[in-house]
């Protein structure tokens, strides 16, 4: 694999909202080389001449499978923004209990509907459809790729199929399903609950706990991890036997693990049903080996790169004639980058020189190590980054 492909897998090109120049943004985590050197994507709206629809990527899967991680990788690669579709993560608070991605994990990728709703408010599937559609519209207007990700499949179904299927009429969708074999996934979510306890799960729920509240069917109190802790938190006030309280805490955590496993089964049943619906082109990505090996390299090879390839092909038809010339330039630059600098010609061939008249082609050439000063016969827009 050439150096150009290696570089392309580590950066994505974005247009600065301030200067309008192309900038290079590093991926949230390094990916191994793949066969994606051929792809260059326009910075504008993702639509085709044959189809006026803008494009949206949706990442589905059971809880704990890595949906958020994949959404962030895709957003970093393609210049996108993430719209959260987890019905508990839309609320303010309980960041550990609801397993929200941290600021560090977001890697600078804008997220929408991640918090912002008051903890006691009702937020229905219809509310989500309205707010998520607004977020998608905003992302599209700014020439970015919307990536909807979360485990609340009923919310996703409402967005796609609700309101007379308006969303389906306006947008072309690519569905990614991150799947993991259930025995491995159940073992993982059990371990994750233990990790959440270490990160402050009990303290978070204690901060929300109100002994006068017995209704756990509204707002963020529905989240797995809150109602299960009720008996233990009440015992903290009335029980003096420390061993009894310890047993209640252990029972609560076991119940959280069991209910999370039940949730994964329900989510998978829902995804299986959705995958049979007309127009739901669901691409299954098997992440089982990632959970077996527990290595970042396995994630990149088994999940991130295959998903990038799927989305790249989904978006590839958006290339205009200008973009196709730029893609040809990228291929030429890939070969050019392999030539020792002392042996490189002073001028590129006609294809590279022609393609260098576009900003994205110029950015691709710079990424590949081409000295743009030597392409003196072309009009090259300034590239706002140095690789």
Instruction: Read off the pLDDT of residues 276-319 as tens digits, 9 standing for 90 and up.
Output: 887 788 999 999 999 998 878 899 999 999 999 999 999 985 55
Which of 320, 344, 364 finishes a domain? 320
Let me know: does 88 contact 98? Beta carbons within 8 Å: yes
Range of lowest pLDDT (14-23, 139-148, 345-354): 14-23
Q: Could you tell me if 181 and 168 lie in one domain?
A: yes
Q: Could you tell me if 227 and 291 lie in one domain?
A: no
Q: Tell me, what's the pLDDT at 115?
A: 97
Q: Could you tell me if 175 and 207 lie in one domain?
A: no
Please report which confidence band the pLDDT of residue 133 belongs to, taking 50, 70 and 90 as the band edges.
Answer: very high
Which of the 8 DSSP states describes residue 345?
-
- Residue 147 pLDDT greater than 60, yes or no: yes
Q: How far apart are CA 193 and CA 254, in angstroms?
A: 9
Q: Could you tell me if 26 and 149 lie in one domain?
A: yes
- Determine the distance from the C-alpha atom of residue 368 to the mean position of all C-alpha atoms in its chain, rounded to a whole number: 27
Q: Tell me, what's the pLDDT at 31?
A: 46
List the domain range (segments joined by +) for residue 80.
3-185+263-320
Considering the domain boundaries, does residue 380 fall inside one? no
Q: Tell me, what's the pLDDT at 100?
A: 97
Q: Tell me, what's the pLDDT at 7?
A: 32
Q: Tell me, what's the pLDDT at 43?
A: 43
SS3 assignment, position 61: strand
Considering the domain boundaries, does residue 236 fall inside one? yes
Q: Could you tell me if 226 and 310 lie in one domain?
A: no
Q: Could you tell me if 113 and 164 lie in one domain?
A: yes
Higher pLDDT, 274 or 382: 274
E strands along 128-247, which residues? 145-149, 171-179
pLDDT tens column, 24-61: 343 444 443 333 434 444 444 566 555 578 999 999 99
Residue found by looking up tokens 């905003």 in the block: 138
Q: Environment class of residue 279 by beta-carbon count within 10 Å: exposed (0-12), middle (13-18) or buried (19+)?
A: exposed
Residue found by looking up tokens 């890939």 in the block: 334
Which of 261, 281, 300 finishes a domain? 261
- CB burial readout 248-266, b (16+ within 10 A) else e: bbeebbebbbeebbebbee
- Residue 187 pLDDT greater than 80, yes or no: yes
CATH number, domain with residue 253: 1.10.287.890
Q: How far apart are CA 244 and CA 241, in angstroms?
A: 5
- Residue 177 pLDDT greater than 50, yes or no: yes
pLDDT tens column, 199-244: 999 999 999 999 998 889 999 999 999 999 999 999 998 877 899 9
Q: Tell me, what's the pLDDT at 214?
A: 84
Q: Could you tell me if 223 and 349 lie in one domain?
A: no
In terms of Cα–Cα distance, which of 171, 143, 134 is closest to 45? 143
What is the separation, in whole angstroms, between the first and last Cα of the chain?
Answer: 19
Q: Which residues pair with 148 in a beta bridge?
A: 58, 83
- Residue 149 pLDDT greater than 80, yes or no: yes
Let me know: does 105 contact 171? Beta carbons within 8 Å: no
Range of lowest pLDDT (58-72, 178-192, 248-262, 305-319): 305-319
What average pLDDT does range 69-74 have in this prediction?
A: 97
Q: Which residues pair with 312 in a beta bridge?
A: none
Higher pLDDT, 48 or 192: 192
What average pLDDT does range 136-160 have in this prediction?
A: 96
Cα 67–Cα 69–Cα 74 angle in degrees, nearest 5: 95
Which of 297, 320, 343 finishes a domain? 320
Q: Could you tell me if 338 and 272 lie in one domain?
A: no
- Residue 371 pLDDT greater than 50, yes or no: no
Q: Tell me, what's the pLDDT at 35?
A: 36
Q: Environment class of residue 62 by beta-carbon count within 10 Å: exposed (0-12), middle (13-18) or buried (19+)?
A: buried
What does the block give as tokens for 199? 């990160």
Cβ contacts of 247 within 8 Å, gap of 6 or more:
none
With pLDDT > 90 as the criterion, what percentage of the chain qualifies? Answer: 62
Residue found by looking up tokens 């994750």 in the block: 192
Residues in the chain: 387
In terms of Cα–Cα distance, which of 38, 41, 37 is closest to 10? 37
> How many structural domains compose the chain?
3
């Amino acid at each position: 694999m050439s150096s150009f492909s290696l570089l392309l897998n580590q950066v994505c090109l974005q247009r600065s909202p301030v200067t309008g120049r192309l900038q290079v943004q590093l991926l949230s985590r390094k990916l191994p080389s793949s066969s994606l050197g051929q792809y260059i994507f326009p910075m504008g709206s993702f639509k085709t001449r044959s189809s006026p629809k803008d494009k949206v990527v949706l990442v589905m899967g059971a809880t704990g499978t890595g949906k958020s991680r994949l959404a962030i990788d895709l957003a970093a690669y393609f210049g996108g923004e993430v719209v959260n579709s987890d019905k508990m993560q839309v609320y303010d608070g309980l960041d550990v209990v609801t397993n929200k991605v941290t600021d560090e994990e977001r890697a600078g990728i804008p997220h929408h509907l991640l918090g912002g709703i008051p903890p006691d408010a009702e937020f229905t599937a219809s509310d989500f459809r309205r707010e998520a559609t607004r977020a998608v519209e905003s992302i599209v207007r700014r020439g970015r790729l919307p990536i909807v990700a979360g485990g609340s499949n009923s919310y996703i179904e409402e967005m796609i199929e609700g309101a007379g299927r308006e969303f389906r009429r306006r947008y072309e969708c690519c569905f990614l399903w991150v799947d993991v074999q259930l025995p491995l996934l159940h073992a993982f979510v059990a371990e994750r609950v233990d990790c959440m306890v270490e990160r402050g799960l009990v303290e978070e729920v204690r901060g929300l706990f109100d002994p006068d509240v017995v209704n756990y069917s509204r707002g963020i109190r529905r989240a797995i991890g809150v109602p299960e802790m009720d008996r233990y938190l009440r015992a903290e006030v009335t029980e003096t036997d420390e061993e009894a309280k310890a047993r209640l805490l252990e029972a609560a955590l076991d119940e959280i693990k069991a209910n999370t496993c039940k949730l994964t089964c329900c989510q998978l049943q829902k995804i299986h049903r959705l995958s049979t619906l007309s127009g739901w082109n669901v691409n299954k990505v098997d992440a089982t080996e990632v959970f077996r090996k527990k290595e970042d390299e396995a994630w990149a090879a088994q999940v991130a790169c295959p998903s990038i390839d799927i989305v790249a092909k989904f978006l590839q038809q958006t290339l205009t004639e200008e973009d196709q010339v730029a893609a040809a330039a990228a291929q030429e630059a890939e070969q050019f980058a392999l030539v020792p600098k002392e042996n490189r010609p002073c001028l590129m061939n006609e294809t590279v020189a022609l393609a260098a008249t576009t900003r994205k082609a110029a950015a691709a050439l710079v990424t590949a190590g081409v000295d743009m000063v030597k392409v003196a016969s072309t009009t090259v827009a300034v590239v706002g980054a140095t690789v």
